[in-house]
Structure 1
Amino acid sequence: MESNEMDVEHRSYNLNTAGCNRSIGDELFADYLTALGNRRLLDKLDSEWQSRRDGAQDSMIAPALILIDLDRFKHVNDTLGHPVGDQVLQLVAARIENVLREEDVAIRLGGDEFVVVLGARPASSACIRRKVHANDAIAAAECVAERLIGLLTKPYLIDSQQINIGASAGIAGFSDEATSVDVMLRHADLALYAAKQNGKGRHQVFDPSLEARAQARRQLEIDLRRAIRLEEFAVVYQPQIALENKALTGFEALLRWVSPERGPISPDQFIPLAEEIGEIHAIGRWVLREACHEALLWPESLRVSVNVSPIQLDDGGFVETVLDTLAEVGLPPTRLEIELTEGALMKNTTAVRRQLEALHDHGIDIAMDDFGTGYSSLSYLHEFPFSRIKIDQSFVRRERDATTEALVGAIIGIGKSLGIQTLAEGVETEEQLQALQLQGCTSAQGYLISHPLAADAVDAFISKLRRAA
């Protein structure tokens, strides 16, 4: 753990006191906050590499580049303020600098992004000069990246306050395809993105397939933005029934995208992208309005359940959006249920709780989706105003053994004890339905009851159930 003494020591650090080959000695090439190098230095190193490469000098080292991005750093700035964030960045820079050799250079690109260039400069005459194969350089970069991630993840102590962040890294090497800093940075950025997609707190080496994936993602982003503009989306509705009497209680609104060029695209593919590029707000508002309009056409006893992304809750105007939509459409708040996963509760807990309580106070039901798949669901049930928990379909579809029975029974028992209804997702067989009924589950949805229905098929389904009753 870092001490305040180390913090003071680092803030007085000057690049001119660094090793001979890392000494910059020119403020033009130094980052004002951390005293590491800046982007200008990276460009200068690029010129040096090109000259050495053109001259085919024996001392040429195949450089490797590590692009580092801090995880959860934005939360530090948002909660503790930018001055504390700046001190964290200075401590991060000190930890990075402590790992490097004399021929390596550390650079802050800006914000919470850093670059470490291994073999940026030839070793001094006191060091052994040798050519380094590109593969060896990448292998060395992986070792350094692992060490850096471990080091940067350790707690920081600032003004007697412990701060925890993480780090992810992308690695790229100097090669026939990447002979400049710009190309290496682009490759490292693609690798960094892949590392973050795979769970953060890890490193990824650039692979040509990442470039192909990035191009495919870029095309999907273009198609997604066009789909929003041309209204290529549709909402379908999956029925939910009460297990006590098999009566219809409502429908879950599910978003679908059928692209004219691509055909049906899974929500698992386009929803994360929409969240990443900020379009989930527009999509979420559209789905809410469509679902409320449709629900207004149903019998008054039925409600509609709408899924909400964690990103939507980051918007301070979410409650106002929901209430304005209900007022505009004319749907009573008691006929709307908002569904969210545990992921929506993990960030900015106080603000999320305040929003959910405001919705609940207006008569809107709140449901936790995919219950049992997270780490802190039980504590969330106590903290948030849930009226229903949805048992994840992975529990429902498992082979019915003693362990599964016990897990499902425990979830249902928790719901009963807290006065919270339970709904089982993914019910596909009569055996599953009967088992859930015997255990006291409140309601269910799944293919056994009905596949998701187009809006114009809902009336026929309601009429069919009435005739069957």
Structure 2
Amino acid sequence: MRQIVRWGVVIAALLVLIGLSLSGMLASLDRRLGDWRLSLVPTQPSGTTVVVEIDSKSLAEVGVWPWPRTMHASLLDRLMEAGVEDVAFDIDFSSASDDWADAQFTAALERAGGYAYLAAFGQDDGAGGTSFTRPLPQFAEQADPVLVNVLLDPTNARVHSLPMSATDAFGEVPSLALELARPEFPVPPVVEIDFSIDLSRLARLSYTDVLYGRIDPAFLAGKQVIVGAGAIELRDFFNTPLHGILSGPIVQATAVETLKAGRILSNWGHLPGLLLTSFGALILLLTRRSSIAFTGLALLVSAPLTEALALFAYAKLDLIVHSASMHVGLLLLFGLALADDGYSQLLGRRAALRRLRFLATHDAPTGLYSRQGLLDRPSSTHPQMVIALQPQGTDELRATLGHDVVERLLVQFAHRLEHAGFPSLARIAPSTFALAGDDNGDADHLSKKAVYITRELSGIYHVDEHRLYVEIIAGYAAGPFDLPELINQAETALVQARANRTNVHGFSPADHAAMERHRRLDRDLRGAIAGGQLRLLYQPQIALRTRKLVGAETLMRWDHPELGLISPAEFIPLAEETGLIIDLGRWILEEACLEASRWPDSMVVAVNVSPIQFQHSDLVAVVTEALRRSGLPPERLELEITESSRVTDPRLVSTTMWSLQRLGVRLSVDDFGTGYSSLIYFRDLPFDTVKIDQSFVRDRSSPDAEALLAAIIELARRMRKHTVAEGIEDEATAALLERQGCTYGQGYYFSRPVPVEQLLQMLELETKTPARA
């Protein structure tokens, strides 16, 4: 009885395996294994096939679409003049256009002397039949039609083969590949395409580069040319093994190269895998008791052996073998061995395996796909879109309310996502979610959808006794890219949305470049100090009444060895984000104090201090150490401080500033009148100097603007504080500020930022020039 049950279970398992194989449920695994095998045996193209693509560059250069056929005529003439062997157009010429343009193209075909071929194709007529489309009769009289149809694998919608000919009422039409390759050996009715061909070595030229003579004719001489649509906008694309999305002309060129290489592949499908699995099942049945260890060992040995044999069959015997059925069959046999060892134990193992599979592809708290689970979904034949969503402030909530509260909040958020109307939902990072689906090509609709989702999901969430307001931001991406790339693009757009302080941002190539540059600067900035790439410049500060040099503001420059001069506006915020500003600030203080110690005693050096230094370093100790090492008197050091929204502990800032004041250091409020600066500064903080932002100095287009500038200066004077005006660029501005009572000024009118050596030369020259009365 037990043997009967065993035979019945094994036969049922084999039937299941056959069903899985025939239904296409193993297609995803076969696709991955097949692509892996193709990547291991790259085949070099012959070098005699050239693809001339109607690419995005050509569309932009011509500026209109569709193109007049006179352009195709001109291209054909230029190719013939260059000495090409054949030209095949993978373009639909079945309908008439402008009579004159059609006549010009007909004449060009006649001049080609029978070496030009035009596309013909069969297509579904909508009534369950097939209609056949040929070129216009006047074209067909001068050029033979060639078939450009391809065949798709029904299990994964990927191109795998193409028919060698087709017949309609007018006769037989050979395929483009057959006509160009002209093989000297028998060819079957359907030929499998060899996608192991290294397409990076296939010559691909832009249509307008060839048309306008930007390609050396010698390169084209003796070549066979395929002309067709390569631009994304024209949507002549197919999903292919190994290479992913390819344009129709590239697929045709791959087929041509397959025949030129003499590769007539035979597709044996799942048959070898099913036979090997059946043989293994027979061995299992002939043993009185299944050995789990033996079956497991057989699985470990058979899996790589199967792949090695499949690779050998493809590379040496021109056989395509689908090995997924073998791998899955071995797993089934292993499962039967487990069942034979004990039903109860099997149930426990199955439960554990189900849990592991779930955890491998899902996020346990929310039940959504995990990042890997989303990536493991079967690939779609349609362009995809991804919207990445992120609730803001979760890190702060974790710090204040705890991890459990935030997780329950995110579970609520995930449940609301289920009503967003997307087929695939995933949690791709601790606080980042993704919506994925097919893209209909309407970018405006996608943008509006993302805006709608962020508005709908932003709002009040009730978690336990907490009432939390959560704002959602989104980044989205779409197009003919694979899903991992779209997810990365959407996450990049999400970062840009956060950086730009917007709720929604769509991905563009510039975002990726900005992120790469951001990462590189973050990495390289850490070694910039030790590498001697940072240097200090000094912008002189002038007493407006005497026009004498009384001090200088310290400015940092970064000379990157490869990227050149990097603006402080770019790398200072980066240093603040990463906390590196603390080390940079310490270095600037020490270097500036050391340089200033060699200046005349009347000169003051001003150094900018980041709000981050107040929050995360002992600024008083850093300043004290810099003064001690340099010997600079405290009253000759002025620290310029800008208020910031990033300051989370104003009391700490106030305490630090009073400590610096007691140390004897001078304090200045930078960019007064902009950002977060407040009149409270005058009352509560020990500033000696107010730096007036250059926007007030330069923008004096009305009496009110000048009155506002005068009011700031007068307010500072009444509070017994000095004023420094930034951005002075002419004598008129300097004179106006002097009349209004401004104490000091700096700007390009007096001097640009200069190295310390040039500053010392200015000081030496000034000692020989009498001060203005």
Same fold by TM (over 0.5)?
Answer: yes
Matched, 1:326 2:656: no
Aligned with 2:386 (options 65, 68, 71)? 65
Matched, 1:49 2:354: no
Aligned with 1:135 (options 415, 419, 441)? 441
Q: Which amino acid aligns with 1:135?
A: G
- The answer to which of 349-358 and 219-228 deviates more is 219-228
Q: Paired residue for 2:315?
A: none
Query: How far is 1:402 from its partner?
Result: 0.5
Q: Paired residue for 1:4?
A: none
Query: How far is 1:152 from its partner?
Result: 5.8
Give the distance between the partners of 2:678 and 2:556, measured in 1 at CA.
25
SS in structure 2 of the partner of residue 396 of structure 1: helix
Q: Which amino acid aligns with 1:169?
A: A
Aligned with 1:184 (options 473, 486, 496)? 486
- When the two chains are superposed, the root-mean-square deviation of aligned CA atoms in Å is 3.2
Give the distance between the partners of 1:89 and 1:462, measured in 2 at CA.
63
2:697 and 2:728 in contact (8 A); partners too: yes
Give the distance between the partners of 1:91 and 1:29, measured in 2 at CA.
22
Give the distance between the partners of 2:723 and 2:390, measured in 1 at CA.
41
Aligned residue pairs total: 413
Query: How far is 1:372 from its partner?
Result: 1.8
Q: Paired residue for 2:693?
A: 392
2:474 and 2:494 in contact (8 A); partners too: yes
Q: Paired residue for 2:666?
A: 365
Q: 1:402 to 1:228 in 2, by over 3 A?
A: same
Aligned with 1:276 (options 556, 566, 577)? 577
Q: Paired residue for 2:614?
A: 313
SS in structure 2 of the partner of residue 194 of structure 1: helix
SS in structure 1 of the partner of residue 376 of structure 2: helix
Give the distance between the partners of 1:70 and 1:361, measured in 2 at CA.
44
Identity %: 34
Query: Bigger radius of gyration, 1 or 2?
Result: 2
- Segments of structure 2 that go 5 or more residues without pairing to the other structure are 1-356
Query: How far is 1:161 from its partner?
Result: 7.6
SS in structure 2 of the partner of residue 171 of structure 1: strand
What does 1:1-400 correspond to in 2, within 5 Å? 31=363, 35-37=365-367, 41-50=370-379, 53=380, 64-78=385-399, 81-83=400-402, 86-88=404-406, 90-91=408-409, 93-95=411-413, 97-98=415-416, 100-101=419-420, 103-104=422-423, 106-111=425-430, 113-119=431-437, 132-136=438-442, 141-150=446-455, 154=459, 166-173=471-478, 175-177=479-481, 179-180=482-483, 182-198=484-500, 200-343=501-644, 346-400=647-701
Give the distance between the partners of 1:242 and 1:450, measured in 2 at CA.
13
Could you state the TM-score of these two structures normalised by the residue count of structure 1?
A: 0.77
The structure showing larger relative contact order (alpha-carbon pairs under 8 Å, at least 6 residues apart) is 1
2:493 and 2:511 in contact (8 A); partners too: yes
1:65 and 1:141 in contact (8 A); partners too: no
2:473 and 2:503 in contact (8 A); partners too: yes
1:166 and 1:201 in contact (8 A); partners too: no
Give the distance between the partners of 2:477 and 2:453, measured in 1 at CA.
16
Q: Which amino acid aligns with 2:375?
A: D
Q: Paired residue for 1:405?
A: 706
2:540 and 2:551 in contact (8 A); partners too: yes
Q: Paired residue for 1:14?
A: none
Query: How far is 1:253 from its partner?
Result: 0.7
1:66 and 1:145 in contact (8 A); partners too: yes
Query: How far is 1:160 from its partner?
Result: 8.2
Give the distance between the partners of 1:162 and 1:415, measured in 2 at CA.
45
1:145 and 1:169 in contact (8 A); partners too: yes
2:670 and 2:691 in contact (8 A); partners too: yes
Q: 1:376 to 1:427 in 2, by over 3 A?
A: closer
Give the distance between the partners of 1:221 and 1:116, measured in 2 at CA.
27
Query: How far is 1:194 from its partner?
Result: 1.6
Q: 1:106 to 1:368 in 2, by over 3 A?
A: farther
2:360 and 2:372 in contact (8 A); partners too: no
2:360 and 2:373 in contact (8 A); partners too: no
Q: Paired residue for 2:157?
A: none
Q: 1:364 to 1:109 in 2, by over 3 A?
A: farther
Q: Which amino acid aligns with 1:68?
A: L
2:668 and 2:687 in contact (8 A); partners too: yes
SS in structure 1 of the partner of residue 588 of structure 2: helix
- For residues 178-224 of structure 1, the C-alpha deviation after alignment (integer angstroms, 9 at most, x for no partner) is x23x32321112111221222x2421111233223333334444543
Give the distance between the partners of 1:159 and 1:324, measured in 2 at CA.
50
Query: How far is 1:159 from its partner?
Result: 8.7
Query: How far is 1:303 from its partner?
Result: 1.6
- For residues 404-432 of structure 1, the C-alpha deviation after alignment (integer angstroms, 9 at most, x for no partner) is 20221122133234333211001121111
Matched, 1:441 2:742: yes
- For residues 62-105 of structure 1, the C-alpha deviation after alignment (integer angstroms, 9 at most, x for no partner) is 65332233444444455xx242x653553355246335346455
Q: Which amino acid aligns with 1:364?
A: V
Query: How far is 1:118 from its partner?
Result: 4.2
Query: How far is 1:394 from its partner?
Result: 1.8
Query: How far is 1:369 from its partner?
Result: 1.4
Give the distance between the partners of 1:167 and 1:334, measured in 2 at CA.
49
Give the distance between the partners of 2:615 and 2:759, measured in 1 at CA.
33
Give the distance between the partners of 2:769 and 2:726, measured in 1 at CA.
23
- The answer to which of 66-75 and 189-198 deviates more is 66-75
Give the distance between the partners of 2:723 and 2:469, measured in 1 at CA.
36
SS in structure 2 of the partner of residue 343 of structure 1: coil
- For residues 3-34 of structure 1, the C-alpha deviation after alignment (integer angstroms, 9 at most, x for no partner) is xxxxxxxxxxxxxxxxxxxxxx96776656xx
Give the distance between the partners of 2:656 and 2:396, measured in 1 at CA.
19
Give the distance between the partners of 2:510 and 2:558, measured in 1 at CA.
26
2:428 and 2:434 in contact (8 A); partners too: no
SS in structure 2 of the partner of residue 377 of structure 1: coil
Give the distance between the partners of 1:256 and 1:228, measured in 2 at CA.
11
SS in structure 1 of the partner of residue 486 of structure 2: helix
Give the distance between the partners of 1:214 and 1:334, measured in 2 at CA.
43
